Structure 1
Amino acid sequence: MDDLAFLTYSLISIFVIVNPISGVVTFISLTSRMTFEEKNILAKRAVFLACIIALFFAITGKMMLDLFGIDVDSLRIAGGILLFHVALDMMFAKVSRESITENEISESQDRSDIWIFPIALPLLTGPGAITTVIVLMGSTDSMVQRSLVVLSILITFAVCLVIFLFSRRIYKYIGYTGMLVFTRIMGLFLAALAADFVTTGIWNVYTALSSAT
C-alpha cells in the first residue's frame, strides 16, 4: 500500500470510529445549559484531551502489546469484533454501549468535568478508537506511515473540534433525522472496516502458523 492510499485508509478508519457528527447530539445535550463561550471552551478541552489520548496509545500501543505478549493480529481480530458491535449500534441509531450508556449521559448533566468524562473519554476516544490507532500503528512498516497515522489522528480531531464548535448550528441545519442518516452511513463503513480487520487478522495468523509448521 503506497503512502497516499495508507493515509486515506488511516484517516477514514479513525474518522469513522470517532464519528464526531453522531456525537453532536450527546454533546449538545450535555452542554445545553451552557453559554456559547462555555460550550466552546469545553469543546476545545475535550477534543484536545481526546487527541492526546489517541496519540498516546498510537505511540505506546506497540510497547503495550509487547509487554503483554499480544500479537497485533490478535488485537486486530478482537478489535474487528468490537468495531462490528459498535457498527451495529450505529446502524440501528443507538448510543453505542462501547462508548457510553444513556444512564451515564443523564448522570453527567450536572458535573463540571464532563469535558473529561464522558466527552473526551469514552465518547471520542473509546475502546474502539484506541484499538484502531494501535492496530494502524502495528500495521505500518516505515516511519513515514507511522507519521501518516499521527497525521490522520490530528486531522480527525481538528475536524472534530470544528464540528463541536459549530455543533448547535450543524444540528439546526441537519436536524435529528440528518444525524440519524449520517450515523447509519458511518455504521455501514465501520462494519466494512471491522470485516477487514477480522479477515486480515485471521489470514495473518493462519499464514504465521503455516510458516511455523
Structure 2
Amino acid sequence: MDSTMVEVAGHFAYFFYALASVFIIVNPVEATMVFISLTPEASAGERARISLRAAAVAYVIALLFALSGDHVLRFFGATVDSLRVAGGILLFIMAIEMLKAKPRRKVTEAELADASDREDVSVFPLATPLLTGPGAITTVIVLMGTASGPAEKGAVLLAITATFAATYLILRSSEYVDRILGLTGIMVMTRIMGLLLGAIAVNFVAFGAWNIYAGMAGLS
C-alpha cells in the first residue's frame, strides 16, 4: 500500500512539474499583450473565436510533437538527452530575456507587420510561433521522452491539455487581464516565470549532459 501511494505521489509530482514547465514556456499571460495588439477592432465574440482557434491549433501542434517527437529524434539520429542539452540552452536564453522583461522574440516585427494584414491571426502568429514555438516544442518532446511509463506520459499529455485550456481562458479574458495586471504586473509575472524557466533549463542541461557522459563512459 505504501509503495503504491509513493508511486501515485511520484506521478502527481511529475504532472505538476510538466504543467509548470509547459505553462511557463507558453506564458499565456504575456501573450495577452500581443493578442490585444493584433485584435484592436475585434468584438468580444470575435476575440472569443480567435482565442479558441489559436489555443486549439497550438494544442494540436504541441500534442503532435509530444506523441511523435521520439520518432523525429530517431529519424535524425538524435537522443532525448541531446535535445535536453540543446533545448535547455535555448530555454535559458529565453529565461534571460524574460528576466529582463524584454518583449517576446518568438514573433518578430516583420511577422507582426505581416499579421496585421491578415484577416485571421489565430493560426499565425498566435498559435505558432507565439504559443507553440521552438521552446514549447522542445519542452514537450523532452518531457515525453524522459517520462517513465504510460502513467507519466499520460501526466504530460494532461499537463499539455490543462495548459492550453488555461491559455484559451486567459486569451479570451485578455482585456480583463490587461486591466487587472497592467503592463507592470505582466512584466513582474514574466520575470518570475523567467526565473523558474531558468531553473528548468539548468535541470535539462545538467541531466542531459550527465546522461550523455554516463553513456559514453559506460556508467549507465
The alignment's TM-score, normalised by the length of structure 1, stands at 0.96
Question: 2: distance between equivalents of 1:187 and 1:166?
Answer: 23
2:176 maps to which of 145, 155, 169: 169
TM alignment of 1:1-213, pairs within 5 A: 2-97=10-105, 99-211=106-218
- AA partner of residue 147 (structure 1): G
Identity %: 46
Q: Which runs of 5+ in 1 are unaligned?
A: none
Using the TM superposition, give the Cα deviation of residue 208 of structure 1 relative to its aligned residue in structure 2, in angstroms.
0.7
Question: 1: distance between equivalents of 2:219 and 2:187?
Answer: 47
Question: 1: distance between equivalents of 2:66 and 2:11?
Answer: 18
Question: 2: distance between equivalents of 1:96 and 1:170?
Answer: 18
- AA partner of residue 120 (structure 1): A
Q: Structure 1 segments of 4 or more deviating over 3 A?
A: none
Question: 2: distance between equivalents of 1:130 and 1:142?
Answer: 21
Using the TM superposition, give the Cα deviation of residue 175 of structure 1 relative to its aligned residue in structure 2, in angstroms.
0.6
Question: 2: distance between equivalents of 1:144 and 1:168?
Answer: 38
Question: 2: distance between equivalents of 1:151 and 1:120?
Answer: 19
- AA partner of residue 208 (structure 1): G
Question: 2: distance between equivalents of 1:35 and 1:116?
Answer: 18
Using the TM superposition, give the Cα deviation of residue 212 of structure 1 relative to its aligned residue in structure 2, in angstroms.
6.9
Q: Is the 8 A contact 1:7 1:149 kept in 2?
A: yes
Question: 2: distance between equivalents of 1:194 and 1:160?
Answer: 22
Cα deviation per residue 1:102-147 (whole Å; 9 max; x = unaligned)?
3322331231131111000000000000000000000012011111
Cα deviation per residue 1:145-165 (whole Å; 9 max; x = unaligned)?
111100000000011111011
Q: Pairwise CA RMSD of aligned residues?
A: 1.3
Question: 1: distance between equivalents of 2:84 and 2:68?
Answer: 16
Q: Which runs of 5+ in 2 are unaligned?
A: 1-6
Q: Is the 8 A contact 1:95 1:101 kept in 2?
A: no
Cα deviation per residue 1:1-52 (whole Å; 9 max; x = unaligned)?
8101111110000001001001110111001111111111111000000000
Using the TM superposition, give the Cα deviation of residue 178 of structure 1 relative to its aligned residue in structure 2, in angstroms.
0.5
